[in-house]
């Protein structure tokens, strides 16, 4: 019987693949991860069995993208109600407009097109007028900014450099991607304090490469609503799952090893990549794109088959999800095996209960 888990504390940079990797080794059916977002960073996970749910609940207190998450048992009714509430909030924002572009809640949007490099009307105002407008912002205590006009190839490091190397944690940077997996030129940053926040706002209409970058104040609530809307738009594309993320494989695996594992299955050669960290060390993961849907299904049948002595986890993903995994591979500590760790922890808990089970003294008659 399917059991629903409610997750809270999900960082804004995390996606469905990060959640699946957090529960790596457990069985979560297709379409079993639903990110609601909001100020509490909520998501719902549908586990395939009671055993998977029990092991999954033992992950509470773990971290996704450096953010500690908590887990609660939920129900399909609660999940559906929360998803519907999120959808209504999103639709209401689109219809009612708000402080932003008039079509959905969010910050002011440049009247020039996304790809234009011209200055917005705001830049033509005098510095004193602009500073006065910013000083009236009701959001400065939340220290969030909205970026518009980012280069499509921008990464977190470039954003940190753009903000004069302020102390910004990577899990406080969100770069938005569309349904095709391509960046849409928008992003969000949450600063640590008011000084950093003011420095960030002072970067409005400065260059990043050849692009003028708009930096607007935004409330935390509006930021989460806008991120939720971007996610919903991105996930509505229903792209085919013709790629695979292969994990739990040896850290020294090579492309040749993966080819042998996928023997007889046609792939796009240039898409096959063995993932490594910033120092070039293997992460025990690989990604690949198949030529046709039938090849993808044949590859899925290799789930938990041996690759150089280890049970390889094969999960089909869309092309966009594959590119996101390439850009930001899920991090797993060397030697970590989630399901084995959870079972060992559960066994230890049972042993503790047996050893320290209180003795019952019969009452005198």
- Report which listed range, 119-128, 197-206, 222-231, is most confident: 197-206
* CA 74 to centroid of chain Cα atoms: 21
Are 81 and 115 in the same domain? Answer: no
Predicted pLDDT at 15: 83
* pTM reported for the whole predicted model: 0.42
Residue 339 counted as domain residue: no
Mean pLDDT across 123-135: 39
Q: Which residues contact 260 (CB under 8 A, 6 or more apart)?
A: none
Residue 363 counted as domain residue: no
CA distance 348 to 323: 39
Percent of the chain with pLDDT over 70: 73
Structural domain of residue 142, as residue ranges?
100-235
CA distance 290 to 243: 6
Predicted pLDDT at 165: 78
Are 133 and 227 in the same domain? Answer: yes
Residue 349 counted as domain residue: no
pLDDT tens by residue, 18-51: 898 888 878 888 888 888 888 788 999 998 888 8
Are 291 and 244 in the same domain? Answer: yes
pLDDT tens by residue, 48-77: 888 888 888 988 888 888 888 999 998 888
| Number of domains composing the chain | 3
Q: Quote the tokens at residue 285.
A: 């993961």
Residue 317: give its domain's CATH number. 3.30.70.330
Could you say which of 211, 235, 259 is where a domain stops? 235
């Amino acid at each position: 019987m399917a059991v629903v888990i409610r997750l809270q504390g999900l960082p804004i940079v995390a996606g469905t693949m990060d959640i699946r990797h957090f529960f790596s080794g457990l069985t979560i059916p297709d379409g079993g991860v639903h990110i609601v977002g909001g100020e509490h960073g909520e998501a719902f996970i549908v586990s395939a069995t009671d055993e998977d749910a029990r092991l999954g609940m033992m992950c509470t207190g773990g971290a996704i993208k450096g953010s500690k998450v908590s887990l609660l048992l939920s129900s399909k009714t609660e999940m559906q109600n929360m998803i519907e509430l999120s959808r209504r909030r999103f639709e209401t924002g689109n219809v009612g407009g708000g402080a932003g572009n008039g079509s959905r809640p969010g910050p002011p949007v440049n009247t020039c097109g996304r790809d234009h490099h011209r200055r917005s009307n705001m830049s033509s105002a005098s510095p004193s007028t602009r500073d006065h407008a910013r000083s009236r912002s009701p959001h400065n205590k939340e220290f969030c900014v909205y970026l518009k006009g980012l280069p499509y190839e921008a990464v977190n490091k470039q954003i940190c450099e753009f903000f004069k190397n302020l102390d910004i944690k990577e899990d406080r940077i969100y770069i938005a991607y569309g349904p095709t997996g391509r960046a849409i030129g928008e992003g969000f940053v949450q600063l640590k304090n008011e000084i950093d926040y003011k420095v960030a706002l002072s970067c409005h209409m400065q260059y990043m490469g050849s692009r003028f970058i708009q930096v607007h104040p935004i409330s935390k609530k509006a930021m989460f609503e806008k991120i939720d809307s971007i996610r919903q738009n991105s996930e509505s594309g229903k792209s085919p799952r013709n790629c695979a993320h292969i994990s739990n494989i040896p850290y020294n695996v090579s492309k040749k090893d993966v080819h042998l594992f996928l023997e007889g299955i046609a792939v796009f050669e240039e898409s096959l990549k063995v993932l490594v960290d910033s120092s070039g060390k293997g992460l025990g993961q690989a990604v690949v794109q198949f030529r046709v849907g039938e090849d993808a299904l044949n590859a899925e049948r290799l789930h938990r088959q041996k690759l150089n002595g280890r049970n390889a986890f094969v999960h089909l993903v869309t092309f966009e999800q594959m590119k996101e995994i390439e850009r930001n591979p899920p991090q797993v500590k060397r030697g970590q095996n989630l399901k084995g760790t959870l079972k060992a922890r559960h066994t230890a808990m049972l042993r503790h209960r047996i050893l320290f089970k209180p003795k019952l003294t019969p009452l005198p008659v």
